[in-house]
Amino acid sequence: MTALTSSIPTFDHDELIQSHPVATLLIDRGGVVLFVNAAAEQLCNVGRSAIVGRVIYDVIQMDRSYRQRMSDAATSALFAHRAEISIGGRKAIFVDMQMVPYGHSGHRILALVPSQSEAELMGGAIGRSGRAAGAAASMLAHEIKNPLAGIKGAAQLLARKTDAGGERFTTLICAEVDRITTLIDQMEHFSRGQPIACSPINLYQPIHQAIEAVRARQLPGIRFGEDFDPSLPMVVANHDAMVQILLNLITNACEALGGRHDGIVRLATAYRHGLSIDNGDGRGRVALPIEVSVSDNGPGVPADIRGDLFDPFVTTKREGRGLGLALVAKLARDMGGTAQHMRDGEWTRFRIHLPAASGPARKAQP
């Protein structure tokens, strides 16, 4: 052995494929999924426990010709450009699909690379509906807020001259005006395209601030759990934006539990090697190793809206406006990160991925 070869490090191939940014699945000769990496979980928007052991085309809907070739043990290789697939009942996307043989037992490796437009979507873009909501908010906010201010002022003047019975109605008018004003403020977030000012921060500061704000409501029957990585470095983010994101996610988790007495909301942080996105700004792929997640053991999101969950006005709440998760996705995107949803066994998880601060390593203190 030469000095040159002896200096080459030994790689953990399992960790290498797990960290690979391309969605990669290992299937057997009958098309049953044996392994998926993190990128494949992200693409499918479900955990590996819901993929492994299933036939590939039961997880990923595709053209009949592709299904036949994947289930045919005699077909070891497959190459398809801009193949149309659908995952979990969501709208179809286009991917470059490549299947190659692996080993001598008939196993195949399947790689799925989203087209550029789909890659941008996975990077956190809010899509056409988000831009349309922003344009509408920008045009209407000024015209609506001015008369609302006049209505509230008139109601406050009337409240001074009315009896207790009339005051009940003026109070209702003021409350409704405030509610509509808040709704417009939320919609206006979608018309602001400028990036959020970010700097290295300790992620645990906004986490604890959000937790304390929710705990102050004294919600019955809900326990909070924490699973924090003590070696997590500083993250490039905006403190106020992170508080808003976490408040929305924690509040949603609490509401999803519906007052049940065994409800658990779990917050976790982790360092994920290999996750990256291309924001289309010419910088190439940007690493997003910092993960913060909010999970609950509630019933989960209905399957028919999971693919549109981060779009404005998509909600299952009777009194909901469908802006909370859309705002979460936009704030994450404006900080250069992503927002994801997945159902993992009995847990509903929302994960935010963000870039780590560069320079000298500094640990964030839980």
In angstroms, the CA 333 to CA 72 distance is: 41
Residue 228 has pLDDT above 90, yes or no: yes
Coil, strand, or helix at residue 124? coil
State the average pLDDT over residues 345-362.
82
Predicted confidence (pLDDT) at residue 151 exceeds the cutoff of 80: yes
Most confident of 160-164, 183-187, 222-226, 316-320: 222-226
Answer for the pair 335, 237: CB distance below 8 angstroms, yes or no: yes
Give 116 or 215, the one with higher predicted confidence. 215
Q: How is residue 181 annotated by DSSP?
A: H
> Which tokens in the block code for residue 186?
């939320």
**Residue 6 or 240, more confident:** 240
Each residue of 288-314: pLDDT tens digit? 899 999 999 988 887 767 777 777 666
The pLDDT, as a whole number, for residue 121 is: 43
Tokens 């908010």 belong to residue: 137
pLDDT, tens digit, for every residue of 97-127? 888 888 778 888 888 887 654 444 444 444 4
Give the separation between CA 335 and CA 268, rounded to whole angstroms: 20
Closest CA to 235 of 366, 363, 349: 363
| Mean pLDDT to the nearest integer, 148-159 | 83
Q: Does residue 209 have a pLDDT over 90?
A: no
pTM for this prediction = 0.54
**3-state secondary structure at position 114:** strand
pLDDT category, 364, cuts 50, 70, 90? low
Most confident of 5-9, 192-196, 267-271: 267-271
Phi/psi region, residue 208 (left: phi>0; alpha: psi -120 to 50; beta: rest), is alpha
Q: Is 323 helix (H, G, I), strand (E, B) or coil?
A: coil
Type of residue found at 113: V
Question: Which of 339, 329, 350, 255 is closest to 299 using CA atoms?
Answer: 255
- pLDDT tens digits, one per residue of 32-57: 999 998 888 888 877 888 889 998 88
Confidence at residue 115, expressed as pLDDT on a 0 to 100 scale: 67
The two tokens of residue 46 are: 């479900």
Say if residue 205's pLDDT is above 50: yes
Three-point CA angle 125, 130, 133, nearest 5°: 160
- C-alpha distance from residue 271 to each of 91, 200, 235 (Å): 31, 16, 11
What's the start-to-end Cα distance of the chain, in Å? 47
Residue 261 or 290, more confident: 290
State percent of the chain over pLDDT 70: 74
H or E element at residue 212: helix 204-215
Residues 6+ apart with CB under 8 A from 142: none
Percent of the chain with pLDDT over 90: 15
- The DSSP bridge partners found for residue 292 are 269, 352
Lowest mean pLDDT among 99-108, 126-135, 151-160: 126-135
Say what the pLDDT of residue 333 is.
Answer: 87
Average the pLDDT over 124-149 and give the result. Answer: 58
Beta strands 290-296 and 107-114 are unpaired
Write the pLDDT tens digit of every residue in 5-15: 445 555 555 67
- Give the pLDDT score at 321: 55
Min mean pLDDT across 168-172, 224-228, 277-281, 346-350 is at 277-281
Residues 29-53 as b/e (b if ≥16 CB within 10 A, e otherwise) read bebbbebbbbbbbbbbbbbbebbee
Residue found under tokens 């658990």: 264
- The conformational region for residue 336 under phi > 0 = left, psi -120 to 50 = alpha, else beta, is left
Mean pLDDT of 208-228: 84
Q: 3-state DSSP call for residue 225?
A: strand
Higher pLDDT, 324 or 184: 324
Is residue 143 over pLDDT 90?
no
128, pLDDT greater than 60: no
The C-alpha atoms of residue 94 and residue 154 are separated, in whole angstroms, by 55
At 65 the pLDDT is: 78
Find out whether 27 and 107 touch, Cβ atoms under 8 Å: yes
Q: Please tell me the least confidently modeled range out of 15-24, 80-89, 185-194.
A: 185-194
State the residue for tokens 């928007």.
45
Strand (E) or helix (H) holding 292: strand 290-296
